[in-house]
Structure 1
């Protein structure tokens, strides 16, 4: 199981704003700040504090990656996509089933301010729904 990941970003304030808004539908929020380094996390159970899972670390020339986060429902995928676009992300694949991965693979993709491919996926989404 992965404990955390560091994501290189050019402008921490811009990326922090983007990720806080884009991932709010999944319950993520900024949980720690150490100078320009920021961490986001989502509380799992009601009695568990949100642990720092996604670290945003300054880097002058970041290498872009594909980061996929799990959603509990197709509605969370839809809400993520809308929130990420509203926060300035660029559409890289609207919400819908990607049956070529497996039936019910419901996901949306957005490019963040640095070009990282951010995906949110629900593995038990509606079968037969094409991406938007």
Structure 2
């Protein structure tokens, strides 16, 4: 189980604009501190574990932040329409398109995904695999 994910950023206000364009739509609350951004989903009494937090912070070693090649953070989204909506919002907030929302031939018939790069270059996926949604036409 993942407890939290952290990505580095050199420009925290720009990162806040990007991530706040879609994470609140997935239920995340934002806490801004001198250490950076902390996005979390409030825990409820009926949960067996807390949802993973997502942090955006300058690197601890004081060096420039860099995106890891082959590293990606994926956020599960309830509907395909919401993938499209949040992908567009993230692009409008300074993100770069890495793959428009849609089905991919290499994945399961219900896997619907859009890919982005945040302003620092970190790769982000917004995906839906809701079996009540349309599936990939083969």
Structure 2 length-normalised TM: 0.79
Aligned partners of 1:99 and 1:105 also within 8 Å:
no
Partner of 1:33: 32
Query: Are residues 1:3 and 2:3 paired?
Result: yes
C-alpha spacing 1:51/1:121, structure 2 compared with 1 (3 Å) = closer
Partner of 2:128: 122
Cα deviations across residues 3-41 of structure 1 (Å, max 9, x unaligned)? 2111111111211121011323322231x2330421012
Aligned partners of 2:2 and 2:52 also within 8 Å:
no
CA distance in 1: counterparts of 2:137 and 2:32, whole angstroms? 40
Structure 1 length-normalised TM: 0.82
Structure 2 unmatched runs, 5+ = none
Query: Are residues 1:92 and 2:104 paired?
Result: no
Partner of 1:71: 77
Cα deviations across residues 87-129 of structure 1 (Å, max 9, x unaligned)? 0111111111123111110010111001111101111242226
Count of aligned pairs between the two proteins:
128
Structure 1 unmatched runs, 5+ = none
